[in-house]
């Protein structure tokens, strides 16, 4: 079988009937993983049947690979590299700097996943769970922009885009308020002009043409 016979994509609700038995077969919690469905990248055959999947949890700028499953483990060696290409694409899209996994198979070690040192382990995201739950392996994808920062500096940097968005929204609101005020002034001026015109028109209409233009009667 060749790579052209498979395609990868993010899991959808339609994939749950196929994923549940795969999770159960690996003694994973299907109820928990259903809630995290959007983390899963799946690989299908040309008929759309789910052949395998792997979860990718995000805690920027890091990711955690988890819950790898296959419908037929005889194809695992063929499918893993294809899934990994999909994972790398998603990682680039999210600008991830480091990847983690608890998968200890030779395939992952061959990609460069190694046990973390103390410094790397100290930056293991809390969102990924306790580091002591099992063996951990990590792979650097690119330079980590937070590598030399304290947690306080990281928080400030992460909040910066939110602050910029807020300031931009405030500027837009002020602009809209100014435009609304100008529009209101223009409307009032036009209304005054129209009112004056209407007043003059009604005043003229009080007099008939005969009254306005007929000559004076002789004495």
Q: Which of 117, 144, 171 is the last residue of a domain?
A: 144
Residues 13 and 88 occupy one common structural domain: yes
Greater model confidence, 180 or 219:
180
Checking if the pLDDT of 28 tops 70, the result is yes
Q: How would residue 206 be classed by pLDDT, with cut points 50, 70 and 90?
A: low
Greater model confidence, 166 or 17:
17
Greater model confidence, 29 or 1:
29
**pLDDT for position 151:** 54
Checking if the pLDDT of 102 tops 70, the result is yes
Kindly state whether residue 149 falls inside one of the protein's structural domains. Answer: no
Rounded CA-CA distance 38/34 in Å is: 9
Kindly state whether residue 218 falls inside one of the protein's structural domains. Answer: no
Q: How would residue 215 be classed by pLDDT, with cut points 50, 70 and 90?
A: low
Residues 115 and 195 occupy one common structural domain: no
Residues 172 and 134 occupy one common structural domain: no
Greater model confidence, 145 or 62:
62
Kindly state whether residue 129 falls inside one of the protein's structural domains. Answer: yes
At 17, give phi and psi (nearest 5°): -60, -30
User: Residue 13 corresponds to which tokens in the numbers above?
Assistant: 């609700």
What DSSP string describes 45-103? ETT--EEEEEEEEEETTEEEEEEEEES-GGGHHHHHHHHHHHHHHHHHHTT--EEEE--
Kindly state whether residue 125 falls inside one of the protein's structural domains. Answer: yes
Range of the domain at 176: 155-213
Q: What is the pLDDT of residues 106-158, one digit of tens each?
A: 999 999 999 999 989 989 999 999 888 888 999 999 886 665 555 565 566 55
Q: Of the given ranges (15-29, 51-65, 119-133, 162-176), which has the lowest mean pLDDT?
A: 162-176
Residues 110 and 15 occupy one common structural domain: yes
**pLDDT for position 145:** 60
- pLDDT exceeding 90 applies to what percent of the chain? 57
**pLDDT for position 209:** 55
Kindly state whether residue 135 falls inside one of the protein's structural domains. Answer: yes
Checking if the pLDDT of 1 tops 80, the result is no
Kindly state whether residue 150 falls inside one of the protein's structural domains. Answer: no
Residues 26 and 117 occupy one common structural domain: yes
Domain count, the chain: 2
Residue 80 neighbours by CB distance under 10 Å:
20
Kindly state whether residue 219 falls inside one of the protein's structural domains. Answer: no
Rounded CA-CA distance 96/148 in Å is: 16
Q: Of the given ranges (67-76, 103-112, 194-203), which has the lowest mean pLDDT?
A: 194-203
Residues 177 and 126 occupy one common structural domain: no
């Amino acid at each position: 079988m060749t790579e052209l016979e498979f395609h990868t994509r993010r899991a959808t609700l339609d994939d749950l009937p196929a994923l549940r038995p795969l999770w159960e077969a690996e003694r994973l919690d299907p109820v928990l993983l259903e809630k995290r469905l959007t983390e899963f990248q799946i690989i299908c055959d040309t008929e759309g049947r789910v052949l395998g999947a792997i979860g990718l949890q995000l805690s920027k700028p890091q990711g955690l690979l988890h819950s790898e499953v296959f419908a037929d483990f005889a194809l695992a060696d063929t499918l893993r590299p294809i899934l990994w290409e999909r994972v790398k694409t998603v990682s680039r899209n999210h600008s991830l700097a480091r990847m983690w996994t608890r998968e200890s198979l030779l395939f992952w070690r061959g990609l460069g996943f190694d046990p973390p040192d103390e410094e790397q382990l100290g930056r293991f995201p809390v969102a990924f769970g306790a580091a002591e739950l099992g063996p951990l392996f990590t792979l650097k994808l690119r330079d980590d922009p937070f590598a030399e920062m304290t947690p306080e500096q990281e928080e400030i940097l992460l909040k910066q885009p939110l602050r910029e968005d807020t300031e931009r929204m405030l500027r837009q609101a002020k602009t809209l308020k100014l435009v609304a005020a100008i529009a209101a002034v223009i409307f009032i001026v036009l209304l005054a002009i129209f009112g004056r015109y209407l007043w003059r028109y009604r005043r003229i209409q009080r007099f008939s043409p005969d009254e306005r233009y007929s000559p004076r009667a002789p004495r």
